Chains A and B, each alone.
Chain A
Amino acid sequence: MTQNIVETPKTSGPELAQRAQEIMPPVDIYENDHELLVLADLPRVTTENLTVEVNHPELKIQGRVPSANHQSDIVYTRIFRLDSSMDVAKIEAKITEGVLEVHLPKSEPYRVRKIEVTGA
């Protein structure tokens, strides 16, 4: 497991005190030379009810599904701890078909670069 993103156990915030069912959504984490890619299943979550927040070093993903039929809301939460290799200002997120995609670009010094070797 890479050390540049590590999960943090979450503690319930006061905002969750009201009736809400907390769920840990399943998450995939991928990496290439340029970025980390986090995918999370968040069915029923719309952009208005979704927050992706970086409060260095924490990346917090939280989506709320308002209750239907007088049941409690559903709150999906995952929190990860990022190391300093990510360029926080360039993080991008989008949600399609209930799947959230968070792109975390690596900052320049941490990108993999091929150095061309020239002969004498």
Chain B
Amino acid sequence: MLNIYRNTNEWPSFVPFALFDLPTPGRSFSNLRQDLDRVFGTYEQSLNGPYAQTGENAQLRDSGSDLVVTIDLPGVSKKDVELTISGDNIFIRATRTLSPPEGYTAHRRERSSFKFEQAFQLPVAVESKTAVANLQDGVLTVTLPKSPNAQPKQIAVKAG
């Protein structure tokens, strides 16, 4: 499991921007996903050059009680991933440094080193204490339990 930094005093000096507009009725998660894709688009270009297509590098999923963020980070080891969560803000930094294996000559180099840094605002507040991050099969998965106020609930309708 990855280390998750929760100390907001060490918030990096960047201006977190609102990835998501203010909630508007009817705004669905497919919109959110498009937003997320747009944000990660530049990263994908630097990562994959002309090869991979957009769309599947980063995903935000709402499982009801949790928000789940997944990001493709092939070849990144967990010591090179840093995650900071504060309220409804999340900051992710990951680096991949590639060098040719020793004694080999390169014939083709499409894979590239990258430094991925992104801050974004989640649509609801999350419980950072119980957040879990896992790096497996080249994918970072961050599971963020929604704060109690943001949990889905059913309202009983009383007959008049």
Contact = CB atoms under 8 A, between A and B. Distances in A.
Chain B, interface SS category: loop
Interface of A: 1-2, 5, 21, 23-32, 36-37, 39-46, 65, 68-69, 74, 95, 97-99
B23 interface: no
Contacts of A68: 59, 61
A5 B107 contact: yes
Contacts of A36: 107
Contacts of B76: 97
B107 A29 contact: yes
A41 B104 contact: no
Nearest to B71: A43
B100 to A, nearest CB: 6
A36 B110 CA distance: 16
Contacts of A21: 53, 55-56
B88 interface: no
Given A43-B73, A44-B137, A68-B59, A26 B104 contact: no
B74 A74 contact: no
Interface in B53-69: 53, 55-56, 59, 61
A99 B103 contact: no
A28 B137 contact: no
Nearest to A2: B107
A4 to B, nearest CB: 9
Contact of B108 (A1, A24, A41, A45): A1
Contacts of B98: 28
Given A25-B51, A69-B59, A69-B61, A41 B75 contact: yes
Q: Which of B72, B100, B101, B104 has the most CB of A within 10 A?
A: B104
27 contacts: A2-B107, A5-B107, A21-B53, A23-B53, A23-B56, A26-B48, A26-B52, A26-B111, A26-B112, A28-B108, A29-B106, A29-B107, A30-B100, A39-B111, A41-B47, A41-B75, A42-B74, A42-B138, A43-B72, A44-B138, A69-B59, A74-B56, A97-B76, A97-B77, A97-B135, A97-B137, A98-B139
A24 B112 CA distance: 15
Contacts of A44: 72, 137-139
